[in-house]
């Protein structure tokens, strides 16, 4: 899959950029992130870049955040999640909680009671965590999903 690079998405560093365009990243969460950047532009009429702060996380990094004995496996360890900064959004008057509601209105996680977007701070700063479950995540808006796929290939 040749993923097109999006100007409206920027990255904390080259590592996150490489991981975001890596084939291992869950396709739904990749499309979801691009979709969100377009929603920001359309709904708020703001030409603001989404800043991706984390994509893949190793087991060691997970232990550093949650403790040595953690059994919690983060979707980041499975390439199923993308974190985006809220600070630059707040700075231009966008409410991150509104974006979280917007994502969850249009995207269905499709497994358990989990949602596709949550806002939290797990010790790495306030951010929006986007996640998808392999194979079961459904895009509620089929038209946008189709467009998202066409545009990302
Ligand atoms: Zn996260």
Q: What pLDDT, in 10s, does the model give residues 36-73?
A: 999 998 888 777 889 999 999 998 888 888 888 877 88
Note the pLDDT of residue 34: 92
Q: Above 60 in pLDDT, residue 150?
A: no
Instruction: Express as a percent the part of the chain with pLDDT over 90.
Output: 51
Ligand 1 centroid from CA 127, angstroms: 8
Q: Above 80 in pLDDT, residue 149?
A: no
**What does pTM read for this prediction?**
0.85
pLDDT tier at 4, thresholds 50, 70, 90: confident
Q: Is 116 left (phi over 0), alpha (psi -120 to 50) or beta?
A: alpha
Ligand 1 centroid from CA 54, angstroms: 7
Quick one: which of 136, 77, 129 has its CA closest to 104?
Answer: 129
Q: Above 90 in pLDDT, residue 110?
A: no
Q: Measured in Å, how far apart are the chain's first and last C-alpha atoms? A: 7
Ligand 1 centroid from CA 12, angstroms: 14
Q: What is the mean pLDDT of residues 129-141?
A: 71
Ligand 1 centroid from CA 25, angstroms: 13
Ligand 1 centroid from CA 43, angstroms: 24
Ligand 1 centroid from CA 84, angstroms: 8
Ligand 1 centroid from CA 100, angstroms: 13
CATH of 9-152, one of 3.30.70, 3.30.1380, 3.40.109, 1.10.3470: 3.30.1380
Ligand 1 centroid from CA 2, angstroms: 24
């Amino acid at each position: 899959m040749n993923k097109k690079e999006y100007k409206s998405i920027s990255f904390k560093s080259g590592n996150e950029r490489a991981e975001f365009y890596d084939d291992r990243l869950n396709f739904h969460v990749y499309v979801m992130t691009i979709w969100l950047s377009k929603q920001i532009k359309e709904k708020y009429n703001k030409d603001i870049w989404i800043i991706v702060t984390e994509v893949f996380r190793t087991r060691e990094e997970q232990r550093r955040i949650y403790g040595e004995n953690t059994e919690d496996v983060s979707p980041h360890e499975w390439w199923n999640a993308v974190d985006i900064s809220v600070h630059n959004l707040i700075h231009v008057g966008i409410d991150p909680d509104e974006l979280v509601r917007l994502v969850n209105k249009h995207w269905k996680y499709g497994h358990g009671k989990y949602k596709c977007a949550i806002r939290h701070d797990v010790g790495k700063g306030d951010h929006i965590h986007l996640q998808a479950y392999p194979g079961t995540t459904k895009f509620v808006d089929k038209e946008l999903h189709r467009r998202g796929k066409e545009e990302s290939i």
